């Protein structure tokens, strides 16, 4: 989440002498410190109004954000990021790599897959700790400066800022793509009143005529440079809290938390031969698992779910939501691989009055589809 140290609402000048270092020298020093802290990508973005204002307003007006009402909150700040703090003069943008391009995934029957970013430790915690350290060090090095560290929840368009900072281009699947590393990284931003020299120029778009992400999306959520969030599997499995319409069940496949399909098919995430450096995964993000046994999830208690999600970005997903997702994946698995125990568990959940209504209703939907 975003954090402020100290918890002020403005980034006005702090007492004490201002540093006499040039914006270019300061930016070089800041980016060197980011590299030492292990950020795979780092850059500086200028402070300017969003170029996506018309697109974002139309996207929200058409309801493509689904139930994610927070995306329409503080819209003025999202579109004019200098408002994140009074006195903001620069944005430091960093990326942590959580997977390597070309690394294979190994799905199997009875396994509910989770998106790659959630397979290691919680990136919010991993990034926030290091960004706090960066901000503290920079306050000491540049008296009079101040910083706000943001990881995922501040009203900022992080991908646009990352593009302006030279970290990559925004692809047709709306993911930020680095020409060498690909798109398997998460972003963090630091707003500051310190003047820093921004990147010389944004990274040019290399999507060309490719439409692989559009063609491969199981729910037809992607059009060029736009995603209908209300149809996206990541939204359905994480953000949507109520019952998922049965028409989405089969396309969801074996995904129970997030989805990587549009990244898996992207040519910029394919294996690179030769001596091209495609980066390395930070130790904290080394995958602990690529999914959960569906029968296990359908038998989870509150305590077992908490244990499974300890230090994980998945801990925001409640027990009922995970059981709902696992039921859908179980129904899809049973079509190809009969499993009497899994089928019996679905029937038990459908008849169990102690389960939340969403779980029971989803179990009934799955049983009806299996019987058709």
Residue 16 backbone class (left: φ over 0; alpha: ψ -120 to 50; beta: rest): left
Q: Are 120 and 288 in contact (CB under 8 A)?
A: yes
Question: If residue 262 lies in a helix (H) or strand (E), which one and from where to where?
Answer: helix 261-264
Give me the catalytic one of 29, 137, 152, 339: 152
Question: Does the annotation count 152 as an active-site position?
Answer: yes
Which residues, 6 or more positions from 288, have their beta carbon under 8 angstroms from its beta carbon?
119, 120
**Tokens for 46?**
């200028």
How many Å apart are CA 184 and CA 57, to the nearest integer?
Answer: 27
Q: Is the peptide bond before 72 cis (omega within 30 degrees of 0)?
A: no
Q: Are 195 and 20 in contact (CB under 8 A)?
A: no
**Tokens for 320?**
């009922």
Q: Are 31 and 198 in contact (CB under 8 A)?
A: no
Which residues, 6 or more positions from 99, have their beta carbon under 8 angstroms from its beta carbon?
116, 117, 119, 184, 281, 285, 287
From residue 188, alpha-carbon distances to 43, 131, 163, 338 in Å are: 11, 8, 13, 44
Count of helix runs (H) and strand runs (E) in the chain: 14, 12
How distant is the alpha carbon of residue 283 from its chain centre?
A: 18
Q: Are 180 and 276 in contact (CB under 8 A)?
A: yes
How many Å apart are CA 26 and CA 92, to the nearest integer?
Answer: 11
**H runs (alpha helix) in 301-339:** 302-308, 319-336
How many Å apart are CA 269 and CA 357, to the nearest integer?
Answer: 40
**Tokens for 107?**
């799905």
3-class DSSP assignment, residue 213: helix
Task: Kindly list the catalytic residues.
Answer: 152
């Amino acid at each position: 989440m975003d954090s402020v140290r100290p918890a002020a609402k403005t980034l006005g000048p702090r007492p004490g002498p201002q540093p006499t270092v040039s914006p270019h020298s300061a930016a070089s020093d800041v980016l060197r410190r980011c590299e030492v802290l292990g950020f795979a990508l780092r850059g500086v973005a200028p402070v300017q109004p969003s170029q996506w204002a018309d697109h974002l307003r139309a996207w929200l007006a058409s309801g493509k954000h689904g139930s994610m009402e927070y995306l329409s909150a503080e819209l003025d700040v999202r579109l004019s990021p200098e408002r994140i703090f009074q006195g903001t003069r620069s944005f430091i943008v960093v990326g942590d790599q959580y997977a390597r391009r070309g690394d294979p995934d190994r799905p199997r029957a009875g396994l509910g897959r989770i998106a790659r970013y959630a397979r290691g430790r919680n990136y919010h915690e991993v990034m926030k700790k290091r960004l706090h350290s960066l901000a503290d060090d920079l306050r000491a090095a540049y008296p009079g400066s101040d910083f706000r560290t943001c990881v995922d929840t501040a009203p900022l368009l992080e991908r646009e800022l990352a593009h302006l900072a030279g970290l990559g281009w925004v692809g047709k699947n709306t993911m930020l793509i680095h020409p060498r590393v690909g798109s398997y990284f998460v972003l963090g931003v630091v707003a500051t009143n310190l003047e820093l020299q921004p990147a010389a120029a944004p990274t040019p778009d290399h999507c060309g005529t490719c439409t692989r992400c559009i063609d491969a999306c199981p729910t037809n959520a992607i059009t060029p440079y736009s995603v209908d969030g209300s149809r996206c599997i990541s939204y359905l499995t994480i953000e949507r809290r109520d019952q998922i319409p049965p028409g989405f069940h089969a396309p969801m496949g074996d995904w129970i938390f997030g989805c990587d399909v549009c990244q898996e098919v992207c040519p910029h995430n394919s294996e690179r031969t030769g001596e091209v450096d495609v980066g390395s995964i930070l130790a904290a993000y080394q995958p602990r698992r690529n999914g959960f046994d569906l029968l296990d999830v359908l038998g989870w208690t509150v305590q077992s779910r908490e244990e499974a999600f300890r230090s994980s970005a998945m801990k925001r997903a409640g027990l009922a939501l995970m059981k709902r997702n696992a039921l859908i994946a179980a129904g899809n698995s049973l079509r190809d691989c009969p499993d009497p125990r899994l089928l019996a568990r679905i029937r038990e959940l459908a008849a169990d009055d102690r389960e939340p209504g969403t779980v029971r209703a989803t179990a009934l939907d799955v049983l009806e589809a299996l019987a058709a």
